Amino acid sequence: MPHASAAAVAATTDPEAASLPVGALPATRLAVLGAGAWGTVLARTLAMNGHTVRLWCRRPERAEAIAARRCNAAYLPDLPLPATLQATADLADAVHDVEAAVVAVPSHAVESVMQRLPAVPALVSASKGFVSDQLTRVTEVLQRVHPESLVAVLSGPTIAAEVARDLPAAVTVASDDADLARLLQGWFGRPTFRVYVSRDVNGVEACGALKNVIALAAGMSDGLGLGANARAALVTRGLAELVRVGAALGGEPRTFYGLAGVGDLVATCSSTRSRNHQVGERIARGEAVTDIQASGVTAEGLATVRHVVPFADATAIELPICREVHRVTYEGKAPAEAISDLMTRAPRDE
């Protein structure tokens, strides 16, 4: 267990309908690793709840800029950051004496950051992606490199720019350790940021990773101007792909149909603010993936789909949308042809 009084928390909560009053936990020290938009917004959320938060930035100049201007100019130039949020480029300094560290670096960087990280009582993944062709989940990496830490995942429909504006959002926190999940619920929970608790780490992570690939497809469909019906059909057939992959990784049906599954899928596929959706649109409008990546845009779906297709080959799980996204992004297929091939598959019993 982390240092905080988890027993006290557990005593106040009923496992069936646990209702933890927002702000019920004493303020503590927490770290967020990764100063992208989502890491910054999560750090701000924790700081606004009264916690002392250190935000680790890979680049020293970004840490200095945040310290000097009290905002993350690269991602959220209009968002003032609380004084209790301190930026640092020193990983050991970031996690010194913290109760938990939230990992919000791109999934491909998780392993190397974990290798350099000192021991931390609890590690919380906020990264959405797989890290190998066997669809290794991010918390598996956290646990392998840091067997001494408790691990959890935070996921759900969370367009960062909206959470930054304090618009309402609801997320899921999942952990094998119920006490850690309750602590996270208390640390993060605000009237505009609802935190639901789950035990299904595998399912939550599978959904969070795969939905980015479906969002690329939805972005392509929107970029081609195909409308809400086509997008809804893609989301529905995409949900079926989430369910198949999630089940193969040991996830539970209720997760696929909850906030971390259908919720995140819907938000990512229908918001023009979602990075993966934006990249799908740009591809549909003729931009090359290599050019988009060269412009500095990170869309997790582009990395995830490279892992998902070999997995589909190895397991014979049917993932037609993922396969078409891979054909478009890495095999030169025209987006219009890919979407058309998806829409004109022979009609079947549903």
Q: Is 40 near its own copies (CB under 8 A)?
A: no
Quick one: which segment of 128-136, 270-278, 284-292, 297-305 binds its own copies (CB under 8 A)? 270-278
Q: Is 334 near its own copies (CB under 8 A)?
A: no
Closest separation in Å from C-beta 165 to its own copies: 8
Q: Give all strands (DSSP E) within 145-293, no chain letters.
A: 150-155, 169-174, 193-198
Binding characters for its own copies, 163-182, by CB under 8 A (x = yes): x-x-xxxx-x----------
Q: Is 347 near its own copies (CB under 8 A)?
A: yes
Q: Residues touching its own copies: how many (CB under 8 A)?
A: 65
Sole binder of its own copies in the list 72, 139, 175, 270 (CB under 8 A): 270
Closest separation in Å from C-beta 177 to its own copies: 15
Q: Which residues pair with 173 in a beta bridge?
A: 154, 197
- The tokens of 62 are what? 């970004």
The answer to whether 158 touches 267, Cβ cutoff 8 Å, is: yes
Neighbouring residues of 61: CB distance < 8 A, sequence distance ≥ 6? none
The answer to whether 263 touches 274, Cβ cutoff 8 Å, is: no
Closest separation in Å from C-beta 315 to its own copies: 20
- Specify the residue, 67 or 247, whose C-beta has the smaller distance to its own copies: 247
Question: In the chain, how long is the greatest CA-to-CA distance?
Answer: 60
Q: Is 162 near its own copies (CB under 8 A)?
A: yes
Sole binder of its own copies in the list 130, 187, 196, 311 (CB under 8 A): 196
Binding characters for its own copies, 102-141, by CB under 8 A (x = yes): ----------------------------------------
Q: Is 11 near its own copies (CB under 8 A)?
A: no
Catalytic residue among 146, 211, 244, 277: 211
| Pick from 106, 109, 136: nearest CA to 275 | 106
- The tokens of 240 are what? 């079926």
Q: Is 24 near its own copies (CB under 8 A)?
A: no
Contact set for its own copies, span 50-89 (CB under 8 A): none
Neighbouring residues of 17: CB distance < 8 A, sequence distance ≥ 6? none
Q: Is 16 near its own copies (CB under 8 A)?
A: yes
CA 103 – CA 86 distance, rounded (Å) = 16
Which DSSP string do the residues of 108-153 spell out, in sequence order? Answer: GGHHHHHHHPPP-SEEEE----B-STT--BHHHHHHHH-TTSEEEE
| Pick from 307, 130, 108: nearest CA to 206 | 130
Q: Is 211 a catalytic residue?
A: yes
**Neighbour-count burial of 68, counting CB atoms closer than 10 A to its CB (0-12 exposed, 13-18 middle, 19+ buried):** exposed
3-state secondary structure at position 139: helix
Sole binder of its own copies in the list 28, 198, 202, 276 (CB under 8 A): 198
Distances (CA, A) of 115 to 101, 111, 319: 14, 6, 33
Quick one: which segment of 12-20, 53-61, 117-125, 128-136 binds its own copies (CB under 8 A)? 12-20
CA 63 – CA 349 distance, rounded (Å) = 55
Quick one: which segment of 32-40, 108-116, 134-142, 186-194 binds its own copies (CB under 8 A)? 186-194
Contact set for its own copies, span 141-160 (CB under 8 A): 157-159
Active site residues: 211
Query: Footprint of its own copies on this chain (CB under 8 A)?
Result: 15-20, 157-159, 162-163, 165, 167-170, 172, 185, 189, 191-192, 194-198, 225-233, 235-236, 239-240, 243, 254-255, 257-260, 262-264, 266-267, 269-271, 273-274, 339-340, 343-344, 346-350
